[in-house]
Structure 1
Amino acid sequence: MAEKPILYYFDGRGRMESIRWLLATAGVEFEEVFLETREQYLKLQEDGLLLFQQVPLVEIDGMKLTQSRAILSYLAAKYNLYGKDLKETTLINMYTDGTMDLIFLITVVYFKPAEEKEKEIELILEKAKNRYFCVFEKILKNHGQDYLVGNKFSWADIQLLEVILMVEELCANVLSEFPLLQAFKKRISNIPTIKKFLQPGSQRKPPPDERYLTTVRKVLQF
């Protein structure tokens, strides 16, 4: 039996959460090593495991992978969550790059000072609706299929659901103008492995709290 992937990151979302989503959706069990001290982080660097001195780090298939985009691409290909040809793969890359941009905006807003946070959230919601969700609504409308690319479930669908749920945490009715995305959310959420991941007690992480923010600042010293 193959060894379980090992994920090295903080006990929170950040850049590792999309990786957790992809593994969980593929039905792959994984272990986690949580960084809680500066010394743990420096030890990974000293051991030459952090190629660009950054986490996340994923140990899988005899490799120690860094850079979240590269890790996600590898996992999507490994678990048949990419397109059937170069064109479909490129579309999936394009859509996931878009959703990752939005995920990053949400990820960093929690680190903003309180006086800036409310204004930043308003900007995120505006961009979510008028730059991102409108695009995916149109994609679904134009091809009339259940999934974003090639009428086949892919990494693009997983990451779109992830970011929809993240934005809904900021504004519960953000999908009110997007009926196709509402149906998409319901459909993808009911895929068995995703449904399991969305249940309490899974390895899905909650929105960042003060403990998580303090730990990240302490370990990375910023």
Structure 2
Amino acid sequence: MVEIDGMRMVQTRAILSYIAAKYNLYGKDLKERAVIDMYVGGTEDLMGFILMFPFLSAEDKEKQRAFIVQKATSRYFPVYEKVLKDHGQDFLVGNNFSWADVHLLEAILMVEEKKSDVLSGFPQLQAFKARISSIPAIKKFLEPGSQRKPVPDDKYVETVRRVLRMYYDIKAN
């Protein structure tokens, strides 16, 4: 839950859409918003493969790591590479910085946590990552000690499992 502008909001997508619109990161018109939503949806699909990763066994993690990299390099990254190459602009939509750019950067960073050189065959995405990462607010956010969530570790996994056990214990009663 987030409290913003006198509202209590839940649901990640609603929160992010609101913030994007509030700070002019959601396109200049309905068509741009639709394209932004399309790109954000694609990166959400890719991120979905990564979310359960910390909770897997060591053997399953290796299989999932290979699966994530394969999906990223054969399905998702080629699409974004082509978009950037075809329109020759700095950003994904309307040559303006948008929520889609932030989301794609986060997806790239998440996949790089699984394979550091995953962008080696994607020069447009390499340049995109460098460009977006150099925006002052993003650069500061990516610095060590920032508020960016760290890669989930064993403590995180155990905390989530404990919270979920408590939730299901309460729900069962």
TM-score band (shorter)? over 0.9
Match of 2:150, SS?
coil
Uncovered stretches (5+) of structure 2, i.e. residues with no partner: 169-173
Match of 1:59, SS?
strand
Equivalent AA in structure 1 for residue 2 of structure 2:
V
Correspondent of 1:108 among 40, 47, 52: 52
Give the percent of matched residue pairs that are identical in Structure 1 and Structure 2.
Answer: 65
Equivalent AA in structure 2 for residue 176 of structure 1:
S
RMSD, aligned CA: 0.9
Name the TM-score, length of structure 2 as normaliser: 0.93
Question: 1:121 corresponds to which residue?
Answer: 65
Count of residue correspondences: 166
Cα deviations across residues 115-151 of structure 1 (Å, max 9, x unaligned)? 2111011001000011100000000011000000000
Q: CA deviation at 1:165?
A: 1.0
Greater share of helix = 2
Equivalent AA in structure 2 for residue 104 of structure 1:
G
Q: Which runs of at least 4 in structure 1 moved beyond 6 Å after TM superposition?
A: none
Name the TM-score, length of structure 1 as normaliser: 0.73
Q: CA deviation at 1:60?
A: 1.0
Q: CA deviation at 1:94?
A: 0.4
Q: Check if 1:142 corresponds to 2:57.
A: no
Higher relative contact order (CA 8 A, sep 6+): 1
Match of 2:8, SS?
strand
Cα deviations across residues 95-120 of structure 1 (Å, max 9, x unaligned)? 00110111121111111122211101
CA distance in 2 between counterparts of 1:59 and 1:220 reads: 24
Equivalent AA in structure 2 for residue 170 of structure 1:
K
Uncovered stretches (5+) of structure 1, i.e. residues with no partner: 1-56
